Homo-oligomer: A and B are copies of this chain.
Amino acid sequence: MAERAVGVGEVARFDREVDVIVVGLGAAGAAAALEAAASGAETLVLERAGGGGGTSAMSGGVLYLGGGTALQKACGFEDTAEAMYDYLMASVGLAPDEPKIRLYCDGSVEHYDWVVAQGVPFKPVFYHGCSGEPPTDDGLVWSGSEQCHPYCDIARPAPRGHVPMMKHQTGPLLMRTLVAAVDASAAEVAANHRVQALVVASDGSVAGVIADHFGERLTLRARRGVVLTTGGFVHNDTMLEDHAPLAKRCNVRVGAEGDDGSGIRLGMAVGAATKHMDAVSISLPATDPWGLKRGVLVDARGQRFINEDAYYGSLGERALLHHDGRAWLIVDDAVFEKPTYERPVAAVGETPEELERELGLPEGSLSSTLALYNRHAEKGHDPVFAKHERYVTPLVKPPFGAFDCTTERSIYAAFTLGGLDTDTEGRVRDTDGDPIDGLFAAGRATSGVSVGGYSSGLSLGDGTFFGRRAGRIAAGS
């Protein structure tokens, strides 16, 4: 599975020549191909699987968009590009890519219209009370931490999860529609073509690719550019070990088989830089239905570590990266209800002290935590972690229970966020920050809008948004 660079001098002749080659047909690849073809470039899409779809087709299909999209307006929500920008800049990790976030927010309304124009349907109904994909075919949901501390004080909240109109996992519908649009376009799709090397001209620019098609080696020249839209690397254990070792402990790896980092390595082999390779989206869906946000999440010291109303992406990142994946959601009998995502009850006790013993936590630890929480909750607030008062209620009614949120017994769903370093036009940069001529990338093969503190829909969102730009620029328009 060697991804290499091959000098153009080693290629005796090219089997074929086109303007733009797109590598991978997930959401980012479809967007790149559609725009490259629409720009008049002869476009060839190489997909290593038997057909398009990739990880995007396995996803919840949520697109994080805002700034006042037609869907937000139809559902009665106001939003601005500024509010979206402020939320993203504050929430997506320690080193947000400001230029990308600026463009993404400013272009979000137009981008929604483009997605709709490709034939993706959205039902103009807001679904309240879930985080991420709704159980209905409704079109708009909350899919981040917009309503929670500290973000609710930084930016006016609005729901920005745009969900195609299908019940449950809507990724297949999204991708069926986008792939159909590619098929109907002038772009050509070649399935079962696995790219093994980039071809490099003597000036360092990328001139084409070498692909394997059922054992046959094909040399393909790209007159204008190669666009890598190959996904992340959550299925590559060596790369996880080298860059994000904790992610290996997640029992759900969100990604098609092809998410083995091949495109990232193709880029690196020609001198591309990478960014934030340690960044991972880790989702811990522990607080659905929302009533469970009234519980308190504690670690192996019996201490709280986050406002429990934070989004799953924040819960998972905090629990795994900072508290060793050792977490329990503590509820009393009043708060108890059946979790949407099944998880075992780790222990039950008539008193906090008994629950603490049953969980094997240090004596006095959990009981002190609950005493402090209740002392403030009786006054309806949470000065320690600033959970929203709508979820603050004393936990006093026995029996007390602990839902198991450890990596061993709970869903932790992971995918990688780091990748090739690209500019806002999808140009891949070298280690000096200069674009490598002829090489573009988008989607999770790149470091994108989120490098932490994930909100659902940011990958399909930025993959399609910057995929379009990469396709257009590669085509030379």
Residues of chain A at the chain B interface (Cβ within 8 Å): 1-5, 7, 9, 94-95, 202, 204, 238, 241-243, 245-246, 264-265, 268-271, 273-278, 301-304, 322, 362-365, 368, 371-372, 375-376, 383-385, 421, 430-434
Instruction: Give the interface centre of A94, A276, A431 by most chain B CB atoms within 10 Å.
Output: A431
Residues of B within 8 A of A372 (CB): 364-365, 368
8 Å CB contact of A4 from B303, B363, B432? B432
Can you list the 9 inter-chain pairs with the closest CB atoms, starting with the nearest?
A278-B278, A95-B245, A265-B431, A362-B383, A94-B245, A242-B275, A362-B384, A322-B322, A269-B271
- What are 25 pairs between A and B in contact, CB < 8 Å? A1-B432, A2-B434, A3-B431, A3-B432, A5-B271, A94-B245, A94-B246, A95-B242, A242-B421, A243-B275, A243-B276, A264-B431, A265-B431, A265-B432, A268-B273, A268-B431, A271-B271, A274-B274, A276-B278, A277-B277, A302-B384, A303-B303, A362-B384, A363-B383, A368-B372
Residues of B within 8 A of A94 (CB): 245-246
Q: Chain copies in the assembly?
A: 2
Closest to A10 in B: B202
Residues of B within 8 A of A383 (CB): 362-363
Q: In the bound complex, what is the Cα–Cα distance between A7 and B5 (angstroms)?
A: 13
Residues of B within 8 A of A3 (CB): 431-432
Residues of B within 8 A of A301 (CB): 304, 384-385
Closest to A264 in B: B431
Q: In the bound complex, what is the Cα–Cα distance between A24 and B143 (angstroms)?
A: 50
Q: In the bound complex, what is the Cα–Cα distance between A9 and B202 (angstroms)?
A: 9
